[in-house]
Amino acid sequence: MSIETQNDLSLPISKAKDEWLKSKIRDIPDFPKPGIIFKDLTTLFADAEAFAYVLDVLSERCKALRPDMIAGIEARGFILAPTIAYKLGLGFVPIRKPGKLPYTVQKLQYELEYGTDTIEIHADAVNHSHRVVLLDDLLATGGTAGAARRLLELLGAKVVGVGFIVELGFLNGRAKLSGDSDVFSILNY
């Protein structure tokens, strides 16, 4: 598998694999509000072959970036990141919603298209020596992933990659992830 630059919209998979994976994702109209078509990846996760495939593709991309840690964003990033960390023999860093972590935290409030939200990380989860890949299931507007990246960087980590299974390219969320990290996804809508 070749490694592309940050400007590429998705990882290299065949058209047949692309269509096969997309067939495993359920569209839910008008969720969470009218006019939105929600991409439900739980149906992909339930398919053992499709789930294994996306874990393998993401693992290979992460491995090429030579990280020390894999971070995941609550909640669906927790499905991907610990599994990939395990496959690569690395530690996992959870980025959570407020009030879920028991130790001293660093928090960041950020703007969403419909208001504000906050995420937290343990204050000692990463440091200046860590190279981190951040993972989540889907990139939409980039608000949460951008905030998670900034949170890791506030603690001194170098975010070498930010990856997703699905990218809704028409929302241009990757623009909020600008920097020197490799931004990658398997599928693009």
> Of 61, 66, 96, 113, which is the active-site residue?
113
* Amino acid type, 36: I
Of 4, 3, 53, the C-alpha closest to 24 is 53
Mark whether 76 is an active-site residue: yes
> Of 76, 96, 149, 174, which is the active-site residue?
76
H-assigned helices in the chain: 15-23, 42-46, 48-64, 77-88, 143-154
Residue 127 gets the label, from left (phi > 0), alpha (psi -120 to 50) or beta, of: beta
DSSP for residue 92: E
Mark whether 49 is an active-site residue: no
Q: Any idea which residues carry the catalytic annotation?
A: 76, 113
